[in-house]
Amino acid sequence: MTDSITASAPGKFVILGEHAVVYGKPAIALAINRRLSLSVTKCTEFRLNDEPADVNSSPHLKNILSRYDMVPVSVRSESRIPAGSGLGSSAALSVAFAAAMRAVEGMSLVPEEIAFEAFEAEYSAQGRGSPMDTSASTHGMGVALNVPGGKPLWEMEKNGRSWNVVGIDVPKMTFVIGYTGIRASTGPLVEKVRKYKDGNRFAADIVDDIGRVTLEGMDAILRNDAVRLGGLMTEDHKLLSILGVSCRELNRLVDASLPHSYGAKLTGSGGGGSMVALTDDPEKVSDAILSRGGMPFVVKTGVEGVTVSARRE
Ligand code: MEV
């Protein structure tokens, strides 16, 4: 008999502040009711979904396994978070695997440690980024980085940059995600913004403006002011477009959603992936997204973070 550990971690969307957060600016991410779950069992070789696999082809998992002398494990995963959709599928994988491996090795399930190990895995796989996605997936509910106020969770640093992460209570709001169907990976988009910002004062000012909009958005969330929050989301989308991380498909879905929304914007790294609209009329927004070739899904916020359970097999 072996112990099989199952861990489940939520996806997230970034409501404000993506890209600018990489440079220490504020950002806010909300966990959603789409989850990835995986089970881990010790075995004689590395296996993925019941097939022998090369661990080098899974850099996130490899980074986490290197903390445990590359002990061979069998990993089965299933996800309701579309990969490359900007909804944190890779962070959820790292968080769930970090939590499961700690449980497999009989270590305590301290959220800060899980978030830290998952962030290290993401950073090493992408070579860049912030602890926003992994923190949101670990903690659940909502997290804000680099803002005053909120419930202190943890602080992380990497290569001279540091992020202060707080938990926020998210009021009940309805969002519709519109997935473009275009898979976009975060690393190259973060790199594109870095190059633009490093060589251009104007781009650096846009990054500052995103920081200002996000701080105002934090206040709007805490006051449950959907009108103000929606307006700030739309403003953020314009700023992100100027930074060059939107695309025609995302703009089309944002424009189609706006007449029925408080506001709409791309979410996550952009370049494809997804947009998000804040609305009281999710059906109309979903229809509008569908009519422009996007894949809509209504999401609930206020969900729990990573969970772990054990079973004898
Ligand atoms: C990706 O969801 C958000 C980015 O800001 C990158 C990061 O924070 O790691 C684009």
Q: Among 3.30.479.10, 3.20.20.70, 3.30.230.10, 3.30.460.10, what is the CATH number of 3-170+302-312?
A: 3.30.230.10
Q: Which atom of ligand 1 is nearest to the CA of 29?
A: 2
Mean of the pLDDT values across residues 49-75?
A: 95
Looking at residue 129, its pLDDT comes to 78
Contacts of 290 (CB under 8 A, 6+ apart): 296
Looking at residue 313, its pLDDT comes to 67
Domain with CATH 3.30.230.10 in the chain: 3-170+302-312
Low-confidence winner among 129-133, 152-156, 263-267, 270-274 (lowest mean pLDDT): 129-133
For ligand 1, the distance from its centroid to the CA atom of residue 276, given in whole angstroms, is: 15
Selected catalytic residue, list 3, 50, 54, 133: 133
Q: What is the pLDDT of residues 175-216, one digit of tens each?
A: 999 999 998 888 889 999 999 999 899 999 999 999 999 999
Residue 223: CB atoms within 10 A of its CB come to 11
Looking at residue 185, its pLDDT comes to 81
Query: What is the C-alpha to C-alpha distance for residues 6 and 219, in angstroms, rounded to an integer?
Result: 37
Structure tokens at 216: 């105002």
Return mean pLDDT, the chain.
94
For ligand 1, the distance from its centroid to the CA atom of residue 42, given in whole angstroms, is: 32
Q: Which atom of ligand 1 is nearest to the CA of 17?
A: 5
Partners of 179 in the β-ladder: 274, 295
Q: pTM of the entire structure?
A: 0.93
Q: Which atom of ligand 1 is nearest to the CA of 12?
A: 2
Q: For residue 77, is pLDDT > 90?
A: yes
More confident residue, 167 or 313: 167
Mean of the pLDDT values across residues 251-271?
A: 97
Structural fold of domain 174-300:
Alpha-Beta Plaits (3.30.70)
Minimal-distance CA residue to ligand 1 atom 8: 130
Q: What is the pLDDT of residues 152-183, one digit of tens each?
A: 999 999 988 889 999 998 888 889 999 999 98
18 lines ligand 1 (CB under 6 A): yes
Which of 16, 132, 159 for mutating ligand 1's site (highest number of atoms within 8 Å of CB)?
132
Mean of the pLDDT values across residues 147-151?
A: 82
DSSP state at residue 171: P
For ligand 1, the distance from its centroid to the CA atom of residue 312, given in whole angstroms, is: 37
Domain with CATH 3.30.70.890 in the chain: 174-300
Q: For residue 20, is pLDDT > 70?
A: yes
